[in-house]
């Protein structure tokens, strides 16, 4: 990727592709297994976290190009699932020996996520 490509454009294109991948994955999962459980989202989150770990290691090993990171990690995987960023950031805190911060981040992420959805639903009704 050339040096002249805007990081914002890379994130936007990657995000659009990631969102399409997410949509397709959920649709295929629903077609194969039905809709009684949010399996599609579970599959997306699991695959996204696996991919985030692979991408993070790959970028680190090759000197982390800011443009590749913008496209792959922030755009593509961000569009596919933000749960992948959550996984990478939590493990980074744990690797740094910041166990309390990692546990706090996990707890706060769950509380804010579930609380935000509940509040949004309440406000919209």
**Neighbouring residues of 11: CB distance < 8 A, sequence distance ≥ 6:** 70, 71, 74, 75, 78
pLDDT digits (tens, 9 = 90+) for 43-95: 998 898 899 889 988 888 888 789 999 999 999 999 998 788 888 889 999 99
Task: Please state the rounded mean pLDDT for residues 1-15.
Answer: 87
Confidence of residue 120 (pLDDT cuts 50, 70, 90): confident
Mean pLDDT value across the chain:
90
Q: How far is CA 75 from the centre of its chain?
A: 9
Position 98 pLDDT exceeds 70: yes
User: Alpha-carbon dihedral of residues 88, 93, 96, 97, nearest 10 degrees?
Assistant: -130
Show the tokens assigned to 75: 């755009």
DSSP assignment, residue 53?
A: H
Confidence of residue 8 (pLDDT cuts 50, 70, 90): very high
């Amino acid at each position: 990727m050339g040096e002249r490509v805007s990081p914002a454009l890379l994130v936007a294109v990657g995000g659009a592709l990631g969102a399409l991948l997410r949509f397709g994955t959920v649709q295929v999962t629903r077609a194969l297994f039905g809709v009684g459980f949010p399996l599609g989202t579970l599959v997306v989150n699991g695959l996204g976290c696996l991919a985030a770990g692979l991408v993070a290691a790959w970028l680190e090993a090759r000197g982390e190009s800011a443009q590749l990171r913008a496209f792959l990690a922030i755009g593509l995987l961000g569009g596919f699932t933000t749960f992948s960023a959550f996984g990478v950031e939590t493990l980074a805190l744990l690797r740094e020996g910041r166990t309390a911060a990692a546990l706090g981040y996990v707890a706060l992420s769950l509380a804010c996520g579930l609380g935000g959805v509940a509040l949004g639903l309440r406000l919209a009704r």
